[in-house]
C-alpha cells in the first residue's frame, strides 16, 4: 500500500513539453484518474510512474522512496496496457505466472496464486487457453490478472478499455472498480473518456497540453469546474463570457453576459465586481418558465431539437446572448413537443451555474 507523489514532474521530448511541471499527491488506496484529450500528457505521466520514461525534471516518490532512477523491473508496479500486451506465445496460465516465477514463487503456491488471480478477474477455467483463442475482453482480464498477481504496490492502467466495445467497456469497468475496492490498491488510471473517469474514480486530474487544469472528485469536477477547459471537457455545457456586476460572498453573484443578459448564480468561488469571467450553464440547469420577465429567465427561438427518449435536447437562440444555449428537458409531455422554430422561455437554476475568472 503506497502513496504516489509527483513533484514538479516535467518531461520534454525534443521541443515538445509532454508533461509540464506537474505536482500531484495520490493517496494510499486511492483510485486516481488522469483525464484529458489525446496528446495532453496523461500517458507520458503514467509511463514516467511506471519507469518506461525518465523525467526531464522533478521527483517521483512511492511513499517516502524517490524512484526516479529505479528501472521499471524493480518498481513493483502492475501495468495494464491499452493493447493488452498479453504474451502471445504463452498460455493464459503462463502469462499470469510469469511475474511470480521471477519472484521465485514455485510449485503449488504458484498454481494457487495464479488460479486465484484468474478467479478474481472471472477467467477461472481458461488457464490453458492461448491468447489467440480469447476475445478482447478476456485478453484484458488476463492482462489485469497478470498485473495484480504480483501484488504490486501500485496498479497502473493505460486506457485499458479503449479497444473494447461499449457494453464490454461498462461491464469490465465495474469489475475493475470492484477489484480495486476489494484489494484497496493504489491505482492510477489513464483515459480520455470522461464518463469512465467519473464512474470509476475517487479523484480525477484533468490535464491539458501537459499542464494540470484541476484535481477534484468527480462531482466537484462536474459541478464546480475550475477552468473554462474543464467546464467544456467534462459533460455537456454552454460556456459564456461576461463581467461580474455585483457579488455577495457566500450567497450570490450577478454577471452581465456578452450580449447584455444579466444572470444570477449561486456564489461558489471568490470574485469581485468588474472581473471578467467565464460562465458555464449545464443543459439540465434549464427548466420551462411561465413568466418571460422574471429573474434568470431567458427567452428565444428553438433553433435545434432532438428527441432522445427520456429527454429532449435542444439549442435556444436566446435574446441577449451571443451563443446558443444548450438545454435538456426531462419528462416530455404526452406528445412530442414540437418546439422547433417556436419561442420558448426557460429559467436557469442559479445553483447549477459555474463561473470562474478568465
Partner 1 sequence: MPTLRAAPAEAGFKAGLKPRIRLDPFIFIYAAAGAYVAAFLVLPVGRILAETTLALAEAETPLEPGFGEYIARITWNSVFVAGSTALLSVGLGIPLAFFTVKVATPGRGLFRVLLALPLITPPFISAFATILLLGRTGVITQLLGRVGLPEVYIYGPAGLILTHVLHFTPLAYLTVAAGLQVVPAAVEEAAASLGSGTARTLTRVVLPYIRPRVLMAAVLVFLASFGDVGAPLLLAGNFRVLPLETYTAFNSFQVDRRVSLVLASWSIILAFLVLLIVKRLMARTQVSHTFTTRTFVHRDRPLRWLGLGFCLTVTGVLFLPYVVTVISSFGTVWTTGLLPAAFTLRNYQFILTNFHGIKNSLILSAVATPLCVGLAFGLGKLFREYGARAGWLDYLVLLPFVIPGVVIGIGLVKSYPGFQPLGFPLLLPIAYSVRRLPYAVRVVTAGYSRVDRTLEEASLGLGASPWRTFWRVTWPQLMPTLAATSVMAFIRIITELGSTLIILPPGWRTATVAIFYYAAEGFIGRASAISVVLIGLVALGSALANLDYGRLLGRPRARP
Minimal distance, residue 87 CB to partner 1, in Å? 6
Minimal distance, residue 98 CB to partner 1, in Å? 6
In sign, the C-alpha dihedral spanning 122, 126, 128, 129 is negative
Minimal distance, residue 29 CB to partner 1, in Å? 20
Name the residue nearer to partner 1 (CB basis): 72 or 320. 72
Name the residue nearer to partner 1 (CB basis): 25 or 91. 91
Q: What are phi and psi of 147, to 5 degrees?
A: -75, -35
Minimal distance, residue 79 CB to partner 1, in Å? 4
Minimal distance, residue 133 CB to partner 1, in Å? 11
Name the residue nearer to partner 1 (CB basis): 283 or 300. 300
Minimal distance, residue 131 CB to partner 1, in Å? 9
Name the residue nearer to partner 1 (CB basis): 90 or 352. 90
Name the residue nearer to partner 1 (CB basis): 98 or 267. 98
Name the residue nearer to partner 1 (CB basis): 103 or 174. 103
Q: Which residues bind partner 1 (CB under 8 A)?
A: 50-52, 71-79, 81-83, 85-90, 98-99, 102-103, 132, 143, 146-147, 150, 156
Amino acid at each position: 500500500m503506497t502513496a504516489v507523489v509527483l513533484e514538479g514532474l516535467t518531461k520534454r521530448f525534443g521541443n515538445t513539453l509532454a508533461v509540464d511541471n506537474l505536482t500531484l499527491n495520490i493517496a494510499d488506496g486511492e483510485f486516481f484518474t488522469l483525464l484529458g484529450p489525446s496528446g495532453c500528457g496523461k500517458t507520458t505521466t503514467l509511463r514516467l510512474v511506471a519507469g518506461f520514461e525518465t523525467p526531464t525534471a522533478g521527483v517521483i516518490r512511492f511513499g517516502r522512496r524517490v524512484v526516479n532512477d529505479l528501472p521499471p523491473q524493480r518498481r513493483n508496479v502492475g501495468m495494464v496496457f491499452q493493447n493488452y500486451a498479453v504474451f502471445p506465445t504463452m498460455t493464459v496460465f503462463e502469462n499470469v505466472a510469469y511475474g511470480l516465477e521471477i519472484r521465485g514463487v514455485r510449485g503449488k503456491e504458484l498454481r494457487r496464486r495464479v488460479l486465484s488471480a484468474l478467479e478474481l478477474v472471472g477467467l477461472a477455467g481458461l488457464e490453458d487457453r492461448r491468447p489467440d483463442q480469447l476475445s478482447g475482453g478476456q485478453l484484458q482480464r488476463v492482462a489485469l490478472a497478470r498485473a495484480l498477481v504480483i501484488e504490486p504496490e501500485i496498479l497502473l492502467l493505460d486506457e485499458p478499455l479503449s479497444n473494447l466495445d461499449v457494453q464490454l467497456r461498462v461491464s469490465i469497468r465495474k469489475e475493475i472498480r470492484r477489484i480495486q475496492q476489494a484489494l484497496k490498491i493504489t491505482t492510477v488510471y489513464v483515459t480520455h473518456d470522461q464518463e469512465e473517469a467519473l464512474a470509476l474514480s475517487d479523484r480525477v486530474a484533468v490535464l491539458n497540453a501537459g499542464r494540470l487544469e484541476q484535481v477534484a472528485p468527480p462531482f466537484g469536477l462536474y459541478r464546480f469546474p475550475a477552468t473554462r477547459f474543464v467546464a467544456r471537457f467534462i459533460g455537456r455545457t454552454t460556456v459564456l463570457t461576461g463581467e461580474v456586476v455585483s457579488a455577495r460572498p457566500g450567497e450570490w453573484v450577478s454577471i452581465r453576459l456578452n450580449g447584455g443578459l444579466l444572470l444570477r448564480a449561486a456564489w461558489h468561488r471568490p470574485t469581485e465586481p468588474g472581473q471578467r469571467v467565464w460562465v458555464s450553464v449545464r443543459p439540465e440547469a434549464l427548466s420551462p418558465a411561465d413568466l418571460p420577465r422574471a429573474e434568470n429567465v431567458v427567452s428565444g427561438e428553438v433553433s435545434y431539437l432532438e428527441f432522445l427518449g427520456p429527454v429532449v435536447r435542444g439549442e435556444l437562440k436566446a435574446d441577449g446572448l451571443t451563443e446558443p444555449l444548450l438545454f435538456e428537458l426531462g419528462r416530455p409531455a404526452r406528445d412530442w413537443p414540437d418546439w422547433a422554430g417556436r419561442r420558448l422561455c426557460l429559467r436557469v437554476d442559479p445553483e447549477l451555474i459555474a463561473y470562474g475568472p478568465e
